[in-house]
């Protein structure tokens, strides 16, 4: 893919820099053991409710602002469907799930090293992430990521999240760059590719699963990579912005 060298890259956090979701299934399996119920029906119901919950844009916005509350609601609905409502059980399961999820977060292979390489090439970097301010800041501090970015914009602090146009516009304004000088790099086809492309940025999609763009998707990434280290093949080896 022939792309012009950017002055700036706006980069997503979860499942782009940090592995935030590889332990989803194992975390649910462990957390659901707190319920004295047949595990397979419980897990199947939790996954059904989870898919329903996150499929709606309004619930998605509400849920990512308080992941523990969202997980508790998912478990509560699942237990209700199974006729097993018990005071406090949904919260115990959901808190255990979220604790395991947070404990399992690690940087994706080569991601931090790639941030350093991009910084060394004088490409301005911004971190643009959805989610609650305290939770996202904790991740940033835990893995010492702040020093790689000239600007960090978190939904819970800014007041809006992707895919609102103001999110990308405000980031570029702070960085002093134009859309045609900028790339957005992330794993979400809507938030990190389609929405920034509307404003004139290049959208680089992180396809960790290697499955390609889903059939029927209207998003057309300018480039597809398996992880941040693959950005190297999009840039000249000795490029300077």
Mind listing the pLDDT tens digit for each residue in 18-38?
999 999 999 999 999 999 999
CATH number of 8-19+107-234: 3.40.50.1000
Tens digits of residue pLDDT in 125-178? 999 999 999 999 999 999 999 999 999 999 999 999 999 999 999 999 999 999
Residues with Cβ < 8 Å from 24, sequence gap 6 or more? 101
17: three-class secondary structure by DSSP = coil
Residue in 225, 198, 166, 203 with CA at minimum distance from that of residue 6:
203
Q: Is residue 2 over pLDDT 60? A: no
pLDDT band (50, 70, 90) for residue 4: confident
pLDDT at residue 240 above 50?
A: no
**Looking at the predicted structure, is the pLDDT value of residue 85 above 90?**
no
Chain mean pLDDT for the chain: 95
Mean pLDDT of 191-217: 95
Joined tokens for residue 240: 């300077």
pLDDT at residue number 218: 87
CA distances from 93 to 26, 53, 84, 100 (A): 13, 17, 13, 11
Q: What is the pLDDT of residues 208-221, one digit of tens each?
A: 999 999 988 889 99
- 18 Cβ contact partners less than 8 Å away, ≥ 6 residues apart: 105, 106, 107, 108, 111, 139, 143
Answer yes or no: is pLDDT of 184 > 50: yes
How long is the chain? Answer: 241
Contact 163, 139 (CB under 8 A): no
pTM flag (> 0.75): yes
Predicted confidence (pLDDT) at residue 71 exceeds the cutoff of 50: yes
């Amino acid at each position: 893919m022939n792309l012009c060298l950017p002055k700036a890259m706006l980069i997503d956090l979860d499942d782009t820099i940090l592995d935030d979701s590889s332990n989803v299934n194992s975390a649910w399996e462990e957390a659901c053991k707190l319920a004295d119920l047949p595990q397979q029906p419980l897990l199947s119901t939790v996954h059904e409710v989870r898919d329903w919950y996150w499929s709606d844009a309004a619930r998605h916005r509400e849920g990512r602002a308080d992941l523990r509350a969202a997980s508790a609601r998912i478990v509560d609905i699942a237990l209700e469907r199974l006729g097993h409502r018990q005071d406090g059980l949904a919260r115990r399961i959901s808190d255990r799930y979220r604790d395991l999820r947070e404990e399992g977060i690690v940087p994706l292979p080569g991601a931090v090293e790639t941030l350093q390489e991009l910084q060394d090439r004088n490409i301005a970097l911004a971190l643009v992430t959805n989610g609650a301010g305290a939770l996202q800041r904790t991740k940033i501090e835990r893995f010492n990521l702040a020093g790689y970015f000239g600007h960090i914009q978190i939904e819970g602090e800014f007041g809006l999240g992707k895919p609102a146009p103001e999110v990308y516009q405000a980031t570029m304004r702070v960085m002093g760059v134009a859309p045609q000088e900028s790339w957005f790099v992330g794993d979400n086809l809507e938030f990190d590719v389609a929405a920034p492309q509307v404003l004139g940025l290049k959208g680089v999609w992180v396809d960790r699963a290697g499955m390609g763009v889903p059939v029927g998707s209207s998003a057309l990434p300018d480039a597809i990579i398996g992880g941040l280290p693959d950005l190297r093949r999009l840039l000249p080896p000795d490029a300077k912005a």
